[in-house]
């Protein structure tokens, strides 16, 4: 294993720890909203981050044991039906605005972390995996930005891509 491989493994371990913290953050945040639509978004984000953690753990194992990248096909969030979005007010708006602000920053950092790994990786499968992870984190950022705007300006949960 080369020095570059070791720094990649270190970066993957740092990513795993960040995904674990993000999952715990979203799970806790889901408990803080009484709104079913908001809770669903936060629970899905928690599961998404747990999925990222599992995939990174599998990648770390594969790189350590076989020296190869794994195939990562990615996931998508389940979007609410347009009818679910109407008149779904949030009673805990101010504290949720803080949660969403923190979540937006978390997703920005995750996207940058994976973009940096794309540049650090020469293997096409690794680049593809990290690009997909960066894209998923960017999508989360966009969804959370829409939710923030909707809660701030309309007082209702609304999220989509």
Return the CATH fold of 3-73+89-154. Ferritin (1.20.1260)
pLDDT-based confidence at residue 35 (cuts at 50, 70, 90): confident
Q: pLDDT of 82-92, one tens digit each? A: 545 444 455 55
Model's pTM, two decimal places?
A: 0.84
The span from the CA of 90 to the CA of 118, in Å, is 39
pLDDT at 121: 87
Of 134, 142, 136, 135, which is closest to residue 117 (Cα–Cα)? 134
100 closest CA partner among 138, 139, 28, 148: 148
User: What are 156's strand-pairing partners?
Assistant: 89
Res 94: pLDDT: 55
Say which residues have a Cβ less than 8 Å from residue 159's Cβ, sequence separation at least 6.
37, 41, 79, 80, 143, 144, 146, 147, 150
pLDDT tens digits for range 15-31 = 999 999 999 999 999 99
Average pLDDT, integer, range 149-158: 82
């Amino acid at each position: 294993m080369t020095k570059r491989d070791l720094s990649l493994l270190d970066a993957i371990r740092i990513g795993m720890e960040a995904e674990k913290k993000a999952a715990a953050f979203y799970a806790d945040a889901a408990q803080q909203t009484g709104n079913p639509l908001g809770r669903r978004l936060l629970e899905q984000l928690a599961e998404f981050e747990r999925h990222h953690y599992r995939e990174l753990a599998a990648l770390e194992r594969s790189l350590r044991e076989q020296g190869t990248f794994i195939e990562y096909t990615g996931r998508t969030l389940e979007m609410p039906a347009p009818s679910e979005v109407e008149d779904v007010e949030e009673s805990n708006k101010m504290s949720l605005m803080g949660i969403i602000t923190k979540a937006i920053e978390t997703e920005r950092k995750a996207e940058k972390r994976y973009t940096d790994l794309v540049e650090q990786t020469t293997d096409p499968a690794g680049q593809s995996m990290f690009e997909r992870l960066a894209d998923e984190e960017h999508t989360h950022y966009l969804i959370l930005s829409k939710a923030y705007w909707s809660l701030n300006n309309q007082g209702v949960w609304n999220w989509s891509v």
